[in-house]
């Protein structure tokens, strides 16, 4: 093939960003960009920016929702940085750093710069003395309660951070704003200062665990080429750039808000509203293709109503992202056998019409599922189908009190669920796979108990 008197020897491209041709012309090999416009990715300003702040191979190497999520995440990080500056200044004032006219602002700037150029014309001795007071009287109890809070929160909620990453991400940022608000209020209640900042410290420790863990879960979702480390590193670069911008704005903001509590609170609430709005938009933009309990329930109930399979985008748009304190009938996955059956007769009822590697039952107002050791991911999805159907049916009953008559009715519903799934499961699982859902793995919150029955089903 000839172009402009030269023969095309080879072509090359950098992802979908640019394409080049190698031409043989007058005994020489010439490299020419297709379209003949612009510079190479490595030389253009936009290309350098992409190389520094975006994962290699963008946009093919990340999920489709990456750019929208990162935009809103950048907005929330910037507003949070400014809110943090106001909280930092209030904390320094509360522990008695210097005098109100000069050294509160200077100490805040010094804290932000972390060892940068010393601020001239201020009493550095007073700043150091104030920071010593801060360390001995506040940081020790705050750090201690914070450490304990991190351990307890990770113990109680660690497994939920994968399956409900959106909810906990939004919750973490909301709790972070509460913590900063407490720090701003603390100086105005000197008698309770230590208690208030310790409470804020516990909140921030929970934020650290929940925020870091859910960000890791979202990174797993965004990675399309097993490039989680690259995405995480570039996210860190983006965050550093945002924090630098926040620092520059903070240096202008600090002198304006010093000794002006009305302006401080007004700006804090403004930044907080922006922060929460940006966080909501960020988690709303995430489209996960794996099932958690909420997304699965939405898709299954829609299918049972009208045989329509929702796409990942449609289901994610309907998924609740706020914590729900009113729950219909909870579902417990991977429980011990005695949480499902408590007698040989109940075991026989649980095995009725059941040839699957799991058992279901209704106990204490919850749908409980025992999983067998040989159960596959598809078996887990099928068990979840039955559990969601049972939960939905029980939500419409008048009472969940464990009377003998109701227990018998519950076992009849369990038996009916096996019959129902024999009819609807295969079309359903084929439909969700065709709609773009990933059924090779799930984010369902299974515990580790596995039960192997020694008697046959009837």
Q: In 10 A of CB 128, how many CB atoms?
A: 13
pLDDT per residue, tens digit, the chain (458 aa), is: 656 667 888 888 877 777 888 888 777 888 888 765 544 545 578 878 888 999 998 989 999 999 999 999 999 999 999 998 888 877 676 655 555 444 555 555 544 553 333 333 344 333 333 444 444 444 445 566 778 888 999 999 988 999 999 999 999 999 999 999 998 888 888 888 778 878 888 898 899 999 999 999 999 999 999 999 999 999 999 999 999 999 999 999 888 888 888 898 899 999 999 999 999 999 999 999 999 999 999 999 999 999 999 999 999 999 999 988 766 789 999 999 999 998 888 898 888 888 899 999 999 889 999 999 999 999 999 999 999 999 999 887 745 455 666 777 889 999 999 999 999 999 999 999 999 999 999 999 999 999 988 766 66
The token pair that represents 24 in the structure block: 């043989």
Q: What is the DSSP string of 357-404?
A: SEEEEEETTEEEEEE-TT--HHHHHHHHHHHHHHHHHHHTSS-----H
Displacement of CA 377 from its chain's centroid (Å): 23
Residue 99 and residue 308 in contact, taking contact as beta carbons nearer than 8 Å: no
Q: Which residues contact 90 (CB under 8 A, 6 or more apart)?
A: 183, 184, 185, 186, 187, 264
408 class by beta-carbon count within 10 Å (0-12 exposed, 13-18 middle, 19+ buried):
exposed
311 class by beta-carbon count within 10 Å (0-12 exposed, 13-18 middle, 19+ buried):
middle
Give me the domains of the chain, ranges plus CATH numbers. Answer: 7-36 (no CATH), 65-114+128-285 (1.20.1250), 293-435 (no CATH)
What is the C-alpha separation between 167 and 218, in angstroms, rounded? Answer: 12
């Amino acid at each position: 093939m000839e172009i402009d008197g030269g023969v095309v020897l080879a072509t090359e491209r950098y992802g979908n960003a640019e394409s080049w041709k190698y031409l043989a012309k007058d005994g020489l090999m010439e490299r020419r960009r297709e379209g003949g416009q612009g510079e190479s990715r490595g030389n253009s300003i936009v290309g350098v920016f992409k190389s520094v702040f975006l994962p290699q191979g963008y946009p093919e190497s990340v999920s489709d929702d990456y750019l929208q999520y990162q935009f809103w995440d950048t907005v929330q990080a910037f507003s949070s940085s400014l809110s943090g500056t106001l909280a930092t200044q209030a904390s320094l004032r509360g522990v008695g750093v210097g005098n109100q006219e000069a050294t509160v602002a200077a100490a805040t700037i010094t804290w932000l710069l972390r060892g940068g150029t010393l601020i001239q014309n201020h009493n550095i001795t007073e700043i150091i003395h104030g920071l010593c007071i801060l360390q001995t009287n506040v940081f020790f109890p705050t750090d201690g309660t914070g450490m304990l809070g991190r351990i307890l929160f990770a113990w109680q909620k660690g497994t939920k951070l994968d399956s409900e990453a959106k909810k906990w991400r939004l919750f973490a940022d909301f709790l972070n704003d509460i913590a900063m608000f407490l720090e701003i209020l603390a100086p105005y209640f000197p008698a309770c200062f230590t208690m208030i900042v310790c409470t804020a410290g516990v909140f921030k420790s929970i934020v650290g665990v929940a925020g870091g863990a859910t960000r890791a879960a979202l990174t797993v979702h965004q990675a399309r080429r097993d490039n989680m480390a690259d995405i995480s590193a570039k996210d860190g670069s983006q965050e550093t750039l945002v924090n630098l911008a926040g620092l520059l704005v903070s240096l202008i903001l600090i002198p304006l808000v010093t000794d002006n509590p009305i302006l401080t609170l007004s700006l804090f609430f403004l930044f907080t509203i922006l922060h929460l709005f940006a966080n909501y938009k960020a988690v709303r933009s995430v489209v996960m293709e794996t099932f958690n309990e909420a997304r699965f329930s939405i898709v299954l109930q829609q299918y049972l109503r009208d045989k329509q399979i929702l796409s990942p985008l449609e289901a994610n748009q309907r998924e609740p992202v706020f914590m729900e304190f009113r729950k219909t009938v909870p579902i417990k996955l991977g429980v011990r056998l005695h949480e499902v059956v408590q007698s040989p007769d109940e075991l026989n009822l649980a095995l009725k019409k059941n040839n699957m590697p799991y058992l279901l039952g209704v106990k204490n107002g919850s749908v409980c599922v025992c999983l067998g050791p040989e159960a596959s991911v598809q078996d887990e999805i099928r068990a979840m189908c039955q559990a969601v159907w049972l939960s939905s049916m029980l939500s419409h009953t008048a009472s969940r009190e464990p009377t003998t008559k109701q227990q018998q009715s519950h076992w009849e519903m369990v038996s009916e669920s096996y019959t129902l799934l024999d009819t609807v499961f295969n079309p359903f699982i084929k439909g969700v796979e065709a709609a773009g859902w990933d059924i090779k793995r799930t984010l369902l919150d299974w515990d580790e108990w596995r039960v192997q029955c020694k008697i046959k089903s009837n």
